[in-house]
Structure 1
Amino acid sequence: MEIITRNGIKNLKVSDENKKETEYSRDKKCSVCGKPYMKNNMLPDEIINILGDKIKYIPSCKCHETFYEKKIEELSSKSDHERALNRGGRYKNFSPMDFKFINSTFEKAEITDNLSICMRYAKAFMTKEIHTGLIFYGNSGTGKTFNSACIGNYLMDRGKSVLVLNLACYLTNLKAQWSSMETEVLKKISECDLLIIDDFGAEKITDWVLEKVFLLIDTRYKTEKPLIITTNLEYRKDENCDIEKIFGRRIKDRINEMCYPLCFLGESRRKGAEESFLEIILY
């Protein structure tokens, strides 16, 4: 490379013969490792005189290179994480997630056999392509909704999209508000990574309800994506049970094919107002 100076044309290429011994700055040092800056021998004195002292000395280490590379990696990782969280949370406004649901996590749970299974399922969801869902059945207050919420929150915190539907609320909204946008609603149901249908069977059954429930489950079935169902109804895979009596064989067969059953036994763990009040004033 050549430049024109007052004294004529100068060749900027530094030959081996003209290489100078490294000169180090007495004042400028690396803020990371403390090594002194060295004189910039890549440019001739003429250029340094033109551009000033700011380029006269340059780092003799690679600390700043490494620092900026790390910063770029951190920003990229942060951006990826934010995109994942946005994807995971984009259904929250659509789902009726109450305070209890959002605050249900594995960390706050009492370890049970069913909870251990749910934890393994949630962890597998992050590393494998999952097609099989779960159906939690048993008496009310035994932890079915809590366990499903633990799975849902675990996945959403890690960027998975989870849609939660209380079946009775879903059907009410479908009739009152969503009738003109049912296609869009079903599209969301088909797209999310996990669908949770809570309190399955608490609604009054009509032909319209049976049609909409089958369409809901069948939409999920066709995508080969998992769903979790919680219900107080009796469920037996190979025998006639409450779910078959109420919803019919067609819906029961879909659930049989899509979901692994977990039975929740025991008395209700939900605290009454009296018990909660006594805890407040006595402890």
Structure 2
Amino acid sequence: MKKNIQYCDKCGEIIFYIEDKYEVYADCACVRRERIALKVAKYKKLSITDREAGNNRFENSNTVNDKEKEFVEKFKKYSQKFKKALEENVGILMTGLPGTGKTFYANCIANEIQEKGYTVLSFNLSGYLRKIQEDFNNKKDFVSEEEKLLYATREVDLLVIDDLGSEKLSEWGMEKIYNLIDERYKARKPIIITTNMNKNTLEDHLLVNGSDKLLDRIKSMTTPFIFDWESRRKPRQSDIWE
């Protein structure tokens, strides 16, 4: 029988009791929420993304065709059912021309599930490579920045890799990308990848020393969504030059 029971002043859950002469301290809802918030904040800090990424929300989407509307509904369902996506390792590959909304929707999903308490790690790929290259050139810590980020890649609930194939890669760069995606593959957790390349161009880009291992991993981890409409980005109009 529980005795000397104490309750949290905020949520009302039990935080302490004595049972069979043993003192038991329990985490209440407040403590659990705080622990989740700290974990989410930790991965936000590690993420390498555009500073506006946190403002991307589904309610701010401006669809231009029926196919995009269909994609939005599927991405919303993915966010709502992320627990199942996490259990079944269901990821997303968004391909298409620049300016069609790929990064925006990847950020929408990330923001939506973070509010549910899931952890997200987001990398702009060129920023990721630059970060580990700078760390290699100015190495101070015993554990490298790449090792820290790869550990986080294994632990986080969702990994977002933005702009795959945005630049010509050296053998070193391709090796780093393979390491990143392979860690996620072995962790058996979902990944979202965006790329401005089409299917054929992406396949050519990802060939690693004549092997298609990296491409096979991406195919096995993701469901493709092809953004095949015109860019919505318009040249800025201003009378500043007049």
The TM-score, its normalising length taken from structure 1, stands at 0.67
Cα distance, 1:99–1:168 mapped onto 2, change above 3 Å = closer
Q: What is the aligned-residue RMSD (CA, Å)? A: 2.4
Preserved contact between residue 96 and residue 196 of structure 2 (Cα < 8 Å)? yes
Q: How far did 1:106 drift? A: 1.6
Residue of structure 2 equivalent to 1:265:
228
Cα distance, 1:99–1:184 mapped onto 2, change above 3 Å = closer
Residues 135-174 of structure 1 mapped to structure 2, 5 A cutoff: 135-174=93-132
Preserved contact between residue 221 and residue 254 of structure 1 (Cα < 8 Å)? yes
Preserved contact between residue 101 and residue 149 of structure 1 (Cα < 8 Å)? yes
Q: How far did 1:84 drift? A: 1.9
For residues 190-243 of structure 1, the C-alpha deviation after alignment (integer angstroms, 9 at most, x for no partner) is 1100000000001222111121111111110000011100000112xxxxx111
Preserved contact between residue 121 and residue 156 of structure 2 (Cα < 8 Å)? yes
Q: Which amino acid aligns with 1:166?
A: N
Residue of structure 2 equivalent to 1:96:
48
Preserved contact between residue 85 and residue 157 of structure 1 (Cα < 8 Å)? no
Residue of structure 1 equivalent to 2:151:
187
Instruction: Please state if 1:222 is matched with 2:162.
Output: no
Q: How far did 1:70 drift? A: 7.7
Q: Distance in 1 between matches of 2:148 and 2:8?
A: 45
For residues 33-79 of structure 1, the C-alpha deviation after alignment (integer angstroms, 9 at most, x for no partner) is xxxxxxxxxxxxxxxxxxxxxxxxxxxxxxxxxx9888524994333
Preserved contact between residue 88 and residue 160 of structure 1 (Cα < 8 Å)? yes
Sequence identity percentage: 36
Instruction: Please state if 1:252 is matched with 2:204.
Output: no
Residues 5-16 of structure 1 mapped to structure 2, 5 A cutoff: none
Preserved contact between residue 132 and residue 260 of structure 1 (Cα < 8 Å)? yes
Q: Distance in 2 between matches of 1:137 and 1:110?
A: 18
Q: Distance in 2 between matches of 1:68 and 1:224?
A: 37
Q: How far did 1:158 drift? A: 1.3
Residues 1-283 of structure 1 mapped to structure 2, 5 A cutoff: 71-73=11-13, 76-110=28-62, 112-126=69-83, 129-177=87-135, 180-235=144-199, 241-248=200-207, 249-274=212-237
Aligned length: 205
Gaps spanning 5+ residues in structure 2: where? 1-6, 16-27, 64-68
Gaps spanning 5+ residues in structure 1: where? 1-66, 236-240, 279-283
Q: Distance in 2 between matches of 1:165 and 1:172?
A: 11
Preserved contact between residue 93 and residue 224 of structure 2 (Cα < 8 Å)? yes
Q: Distance in 1 between matches of 2:32 and 2:230?
A: 44
Preserved contact between residue 95 and residue 165 of structure 1 (Cα < 8 Å)? yes
For residues 135-161 of structure 1, the C-alpha deviation after alignment (integer angstroms, 9 at most, x for no partner) is 000011111001100000011111111
Cα distance, 1:255–1:78 mapped onto 2, change above 3 Å = same
SS at match of 1:164: strand
The one of the two structures with greater contact order (alpha-carbon pairs below 8 A, sep at least 6) is 2
Moved over 4 A (4+): 67-71
Q: Distance in 1 between matches of 2:93 and 2:62?
A: 20
Q: Distance in 2 between matches of 1:93 and 1:205?
A: 26
